[in-house]
Structure 1
Amino acid sequence: MMSVLVHALLVQALAGNAVVAKTPTDGGVACLTLATALAAREGVPVTLVSGSGGELSEALVRAPEIGCVSFVGGRDTGAAVATAVVDLGKRHILEQEGLNTWGIWNYSDWDALGALIPKLFDYGKQRCTAYPRFVVQRGLFDAFLAAYLPAVRTLRIGHPLAVEHPDDPYPALDFGPVINAAKAKELDDQVAEAIDRGAVPLYRGTPADARFLPGQDTSAYVQPVTLLHPPRSSPLHHAEPFGPVDTIVLVDTEAELLAAMNASNGALVATLSTDERATFDRLAPHIRAFKIGHGVPRSRGDRDELFGGYGASWRGAFVGGELLVRAVTRGPAGERSPGNFPDHRLTP
């Protein structure tokens, strides 16, 4: 979250604008305060405010002095912000949650997939381009599990200084805690509720595999979990968990594959693993994600590559390279950066 906010903050400031930033409601206060203080010390015109989004959002979004709004968060709050900025005619960049999916169809390169699985847990899947959902052709489920389970069993979490002896190297860890204990409890509750309603637990890491300091508070740690077929009544079926919780859905037809990959009506990224390029080219246009990989994960990309969402996962201007500058500056009359505006949408 800090990298996304500070990046947007600095680009807007370097484009000649004064910037008002708000810390996320969950976490980020200390590091963002330090980053903003360093920028302000160097004369960058930035101001950081902190408080409840419910209390500050209305004032910040509707203030006539603010000409562009950049928001990253959930769809409920994002919808309220979007309504306000559209009514006011303000430039806006609204990145909202979406369920990024990885489809498996007529596929056989299981060694390549197995090598990718641990990397997909970077940052504990607390990133907007994480892949928490696998949509798997039913006839390939056994081969998928044979590649997936050994890979996920290698994951280790804990504290980077938790070594057995002072001279030992740092332990090899894949990720640390989620953002706070409340988020950890939310994820644990969602997993328990999904299982109670019929999801099948396929894997759950154990605390014995973790590395912690003596007496360390571990309430914000969540062991990796994998569930088969989360029930439709569960948030894990249609929403981004934003944590180390994978879900798997089995499908029998291409139509079911596309429907399951589009469960959240729009996402930032998606991947389809299929052996035949022709199959990928035929199915990819129907996947409602902005960036789609053929057997490889997609991300925010380099600075020269567009970044945005599709459907309900993004509103306003897409960004990337010079487009982020164009989104927060005045250009020729009528100029508009590419994005999910009612009359201007990019296709993946």
Structure 2
Amino acid sequence: MTQTIDQVQGTTDPAAARRDHALTLAAELRSGYLAGSWREAASTFDVTDPATGAVVASVADCDVADGLAALSAADAAAEEWRASTPAERAALLHRVDTAMRADQENLAHLITLETGKTLTEARGEVIYAADYVRWYAEEAVRVHGRSSTAPTGDFQIVTVAEPVGPCLLITPWNVPLAMVTRKLAPAIAAGCTAVVKPAELTPLVTLAFARIVEDAGAPQGVVSVITTTRADEVCAALLADERLRKVSFTGSTAVGRLLLERSGQRVLRTSMELGGNAPFVVFDDADLDLAVEQAMIAKMRMGGQSCVGANRFLVQEGIADAFAARLGERMAATRVGSGFDEDVDLGPLIDERAVAKAQRLTDDALERGAREVARAEAPEGSCYLAPVVLDQVPADAAIISEEVFAPVAAISTFSTEAEALARANDTEHGLAGFVITASLDRARRMAGRMRSGMVGINRGLVSSVAAPFGGTKQSGLGREGGPEGIAEYLDMKYVAVPAFG
């Protein structure tokens, strides 16, 4: 992007100027990026600002024909990109990484405009997204096979990692840039081509990222972006096409099940990062300051709209009252408003449906006997929701079993470690869990017995580009990030060759 933000400096209303700048950027992003070119679709759909409800852009509403055209381009480019050297793929990703960091502010403005998250958090997302690109630029040249002598001694076993082939990457709205790079960077590094389908609510920053990839020199067809309101029919057509070899999806468990069913018809490689219901377990021996600080990170990151965010706070009886009071103080002090205001801690939720769900779960808990400890203030209207802390939430409250995806903290108490573990595992999901304790032995026991793909010990943030991100049970299949992430885009071929000597 060539726009600057000089106009923001020195204005009487910097927040309004930042939003106007974002609107200027959004106006440039109307087309779909298909087969290495920008194309207008027959129809468009509106993108809205959750802070105001106003339409901020209209983008191409791609149909099945557009989707198949993108897949054709990915298939046509597949052999040439597969034959590219690891060094060439790494060089492309390094150029993308450099460009992202140089364009951090513009990308952050677009993220804030379409998600509502604060500029501080949006800036952090851009760097986090770029970190994935850099990581897989480095992993591109470190894909390993092995060679060993067969037990019979008469031949060698050689394994070679090869690209899976054309991929469909379906990304969510809550972390729209980082989830693209977490999928696309390893695909490119592995030698795969890809069709990216961003969330309908947040297509803008993905389109901006496609420009960066294009400008960095990606060959035609290596990356396409399909923006659409007809995701079900477009994705169904792609999944049924014999040229597609893999699908990666981040989103709800319900949609993940449907995609797995359709993928099974053609035995596609799949990566599924689905819903969560993360327990945040606090033991009596925990440092209270640490517990509250990490609880705020685990709960309030992305305004609670995170699949790995703490959904259930399980607090041992001896520390429960103090923890609830302290967490209430912190949550009540949260400043809610436009993400373009640098003094704000929390922006709006993504849309009115998210607000309605959070309100339903809060009301249900209160009706069943939960106690409201604290509530922050929030602007009237649009998609704003005041952060709230609920204590003594009963086990039958819907918020215990449903993912709230909002700044609502639900606290329950427990007596023993065994009870804490049983309740932590009492969910169909198994994405992440958190344990706060001063006991290393207890931390090891809990981490070993919690049925989740990730566990944070005395920390509320587990995401890292160097770590495998993913869940168990109904929270998904496969891993993203770390050296494990590129393996999701590689097939392992075994070759039997004559013995040496």
Q: TM-score range by the shorter chain?
A: 0.7 to 0.9
- 2:306 is equivalent to residue 127 of structure 1: yes
- 2:480 is equivalent to residue 319 of structure 1: yes
2:260 to 82, 89, 92: 82
Q: CA deviation at 1:234?
A: 4.6
Counterpart for residue 343 of structure 1:
none
Cα distance between partner residues in 1 of 2:456 and 2:189: 33
Q: Is residue 365–residue 399 contact of structure 2 (8 Å, CA) maintained in 1?
A: yes
Q: CA RMSD in A?
A: 2.4
Question: Could you say which structure has the larger radius of gyration?
Answer: 2
Counterpart for residue 243 of structure 2:
65
Whichever residue aligns with residue 456 of structure 2, its letter is: G
- 2:186 is equivalent to residue 11 of structure 1: yes
Superimposed CA distance per residue, residues 242-296 of structure 1 (whole angstroms, 9 cap, x where no aligned partner) = 1211111212233321122123233322111122212222232221122222221
- 2:160 is equivalent to residue 24 of structure 1: no
Moved more, 98-107 or 263-272: 263-272
Whichever residue aligns with residue 468 of structure 2, its letter is: L
Counterpart for residue 309 of structure 1:
471
Q: CA deviation at 1:103?
A: 0.5
Cα distance between partner residues in 1 of 2:431 and 2:366: 28
> Which structure has the highest helix share of the two?
2
Q: Is residue 328–residue 375 contact of structure 2 (8 Å, CA) maintained in 1?
A: no
Cα 1:104–1:68 change in 2 (3 A) is same
SS in 2 for 1:289: coil
Superimposed CA distance per residue, residues 108-146 of structure 1 (whole angstroms, 9 cap, x where no aligned partner) = 411222333433312202222211221011232122224
Whichever residue aligns with residue 106 of structure 1, its letter is: D
SS in 1 for 2:490: coil
Whichever residue aligns with residue 4 of structure 1, its letter is: M
Q: Is residue 279–residue 314 contact of structure 2 (8 Å, CA) maintained in 1?
A: yes
Whichever residue aligns with residue 279 of structure 1, its letter is: R
SS in 2 for 1:330: strand
Q: Is residue 333–residue 376 contact of structure 2 (8 Å, CA) maintained in 1?
A: no
Q: CA deviation at 1:230?
A: 4.3
Q: CA deviation at 1:298?
A: 3.7
Counterpart for residue 374 of structure 2:
203
Cα distance between partner residues in 2 of 1:59 and 1:199: 47
Whichever residue aligns with residue 311 of structure 1, its letter is: K
Cα 1:250–1:300 change in 2 (3 A) is same
Whichever residue aligns with residue 248 of structure 2, its letter is: S
- 2:493 is equivalent to residue 332 of structure 1: yes
TM-score w.r.t. the length of structure 2 is 0.58
Cα distance between partner residues in 2 of 1:93 and 1:232: 32
Task: Flag structure 1 segments of 5+ consecutive residues without an equivalent.
Answer: 163-169, 211-216, 335-348
Counterpart for residue 293 of structure 2:
115
Q: How does 1:221-236 map to 2 (within 5 A)?
A: 221-230=384-393, 234-236=397-399
Q: Is residue 270–residue 298 contact of structure 1 (8 Å, CA) maintained in 2?
A: no
Q: How does 1:26-41 map to 2 (within 5 A)?
A: 27-41=201-215
Identity %: 23
Whichever residue aligns with residue 30 of structure 1, its letter is: L
Cα 1:109–1:29 change in 2 (3 A) is same
Q: CA deviation at 1:148?
A: 1.8
Counterpart for residue 167 of structure 1:
none
* Alignment size in residue pairs: 315
Counterpart for residue 213 of structure 1:
none
Superimposed CA distance per residue, residues 286-311 of structure 1 (whole angstroms, 9 cap, x where no aligned partner) = 211222222212422232x2222122
Superimposed CA distance per residue, residues 146-204 of structure 1 (whole angstroms, 9 cap, x where no aligned partner) = 43222222221212455xxxxxxx32x22211112332222223322332343332222
Q: Is residue 268–residue 313 contact of structure 1 (8 Å, CA) maintained in 2?
A: yes
Cα distance between partner residues in 2 of 1:149 and 1:192: 18
- 2:367 is equivalent to residue 185 of structure 1: no
Cα distance between partner residues in 2 of 1:328 and 1:129: 23
Task: Flag structure 2 segments of 5+ consecutive residues without an equivalent.
Answer: 1-174, 496-501
Counterpart for residue 439 of structure 2:
276
Q: Is residue 456–residue 462 contact of structure 2 (8 Å, CA) maintained in 1?
A: no
Whichever residue aligns with residue 182 of structure 2, its letter is: H
Cα distance between partner residues in 1 of 2:393 and 2:255: 25
- 2:418 is equivalent to residue 255 of structure 1: yes
Q: Is residue 331–residue 375 contact of structure 2 (8 Å, CA) maintained in 1?
A: no
Cα distance between partner residues in 1 of 2:340 and 2:479: 40
